[in-house]
Amino acid sequence: MRKRLALVELFHHREPSLLVVGQAVSNFGDGISLVALTLLVLETTHASVTDLSWYAAARMTPLVVFLLLGGAIVDRFSRRTLLLLSDGVRAVLTGALVLLIATGSLHYFELLIFAVLFGCFDAIFYPAISALTPEIVPEELLPAMNAVRPLANNLMGSTLGPAIGGLIAAFSTSLAIGIDCATFVVSFTTLSLMHPTPRPDHDGKSTMLEDIREGVRYVRRTRWLWTTLLAVTLVNAFVFTPMFVLLSYFVLHNLHDAKFYVGFLSAAGGVGGVIGALVAANLVAPKRRIRVMWTYWTIGTLSALVVGVAANFWEVVFFPIVASPMMILGNVIWESMMQAEVPRELLGRASSVDWFVSLGISPLGLVVAGEISNYVGVRTYFVFASIICAVPGLYILSSRRINKVDEIRRARNADVNS
């Protein structure tokens, strides 16, 4: 019987503690740079919204394009070493950006190059940190570890970082980005203090392309993986990704509320995410992982229905307050399940396929959601989008074939305990 809360127990282990502290500091820097870089792009381009959109696309496109390659790299080299490389390079990039600002040499073209390079190393970072986690964390503490990361991201990256970053960037964008550079150095240092991790088992005979194909084939033949990814892709693209954009428009133009209510929307989602992560950090992994996971995600998806009847801001805000923790509770089970079920030598590639499919059509989904909302309205869009996107999840909840992986696990555990 567990004597301490899982979150407390986690910090009694040296390696996870170092990783969490470093990433929390880095998340804080990310929140600061989010505001600072937005202002910097607008200043450099004389407040061009189009150029700001291209900058965001330049950051996201290489992330999506190179995720599969990043996964293949992660399954060939030490995951800790790759995280060190990623944080080290990003520290150098932000440092160079500060130098360009200080010397008055920065142009929009350099900002685009910066965004592309950052996106490339993001494509290594995400699968690497997912694959490193089960190497340094006991399996019973994986849910706690996978909850601490979104907790730090919501608290430091989505709440404190942007708030403080706005104040600092209003005074000096170069100072704000310099602080982000320093947080990458802190993260690099904590990774350096961790014990080295071995390279995954790899015979060295296959090419990168063959490795990528092997990862994709593994996902395709693993029913619980590919069915969940396809269903999540729809929910992400057409419900969760457009959430804050469309809700902000709805609050301003349909409800005619003041502009500061838009900030309340983001804060509400952040607070809900923090609460969800704190709860998830101390929950024991459920026996019926897929059904519990999809129950959370389906509740989050259907919470969008409230927009169809909302008459004021406090009814609209119910959507992000419910959706954010439900997303995190489901994500914690999902990541822990992948780390427990997927072979270690394939985990980097499986994680990269996960990120690639989950995010792949989200930019398109945002555009489609905006266009449909122009014709039918935000209310109607969220009612139909939430119902349609909930259907695949309801199918997965009822499918015995997809849930068979949990039946096998329960049977295996029963044999061990008997």
The answer on 227 and 126 residing in a single domain is no
What type of residue is 232?
Answer: V
Residue 201 falls inside a structural domain:
no
- Percentage of the chain exceeding pLDDT 70: 93
Model confidence at 154, pLDDT cuts 50, 70, 90, reads: confident
CA dist 7 and 140 (Å) reads 11
Residue 349 falls inside a structural domain:
yes
Q: Which residue has the higher pLDDT, 186 or 3?
A: 186
Residue 8 falls inside a structural domain:
yes
Residue 202 falls inside a structural domain:
no
Please compute the mean of the pLDDT values over residues 380-406 and round it to a whole number.
94
The answer on 225 and 113 residing in a single domain is no
Query: What pLDDT sits at residue 157?
Result: 78
* pLDDT tens per residue across span 227-284: 999 999 999 989 988 887 788 778 877 888 776 666 577 677 778 888 888 888 777 8
Model confidence at 184, pLDDT cuts 50, 70, 90, reads: very high
What type of residue is 371?
Answer: E
Please identify, among 195, 216, 248, the residue that sits at the C-terminal boundary of a domain. 195
Please compute the mean of the pLDDT values over residues 70-79 and round it to a whole number.
88
Residue 79 falls inside a structural domain:
yes
The answer on 174 and 36 residing in a single domain is yes
Residue 2 predicted with pLDDT over 50? no
CA dist 112 and 115 (Å) reads 5
Query: Can you give the CATH number for the domain in which 229 is found?
Result: 1.20.1250.20
The answer on 234 and 112 residing in a single domain is no
Least confident of 165-169, 209-213, 259-263: 259-263
The answer on 170 and 71 residing in a single domain is yes
The answer on 284 and 166 residing in a single domain is no
Q: If you average pLDDT over every residue of the chain, what do you get?
A: 86
Residue 368 falls inside a structural domain:
yes
- Count up the domains in the chain and report the number: 2
The answer on 390 and 251 residing in a single domain is yes
Query: What pLDDT sits at residue 1?
Result: 40
Least confident of 52-61, 137-146, 154-163, 205-214: 52-61
Provide the residue range defining the domain that includes 55: 1-150+160-195
The answer on 237 and 145 residing in a single domain is no
The answer on 214 and 168 residing in a single domain is no
64, 135, 167, 409, 418 from 130: Cα distances, Å = 16, 10, 33, 22, 33
Which of these, 318, 183, 297, lies nearest to 240 by C-alpha position?
A: 297
Please compute the mean of the pLDDT values over residues 360-376 and round it to a whole number.
81
Q: Do 120 and 86 form a contact (C-beta atoms < 8 A)?
A: no
Q: Do 6 and 73 form a contact (C-beta atoms < 8 A)?
A: no
The answer on 330 and 245 residing in a single domain is yes
Residue 30 falls inside a structural domain:
yes
* pLDDT tens per residue across span 380-389: 999 999 999 9
Model confidence at 402, pLDDT cuts 50, 70, 90, reads: very high
The answer on 311 and 367 residing in a single domain is yes
The answer on 228 and 135 residing in a single domain is no
Residue 155 falls inside a structural domain:
no
Please identify, among 195, 219, 251, the residue that sits at the C-terminal boundary of a domain. 195
Residue 4 predicted with pLDDT over 80? no
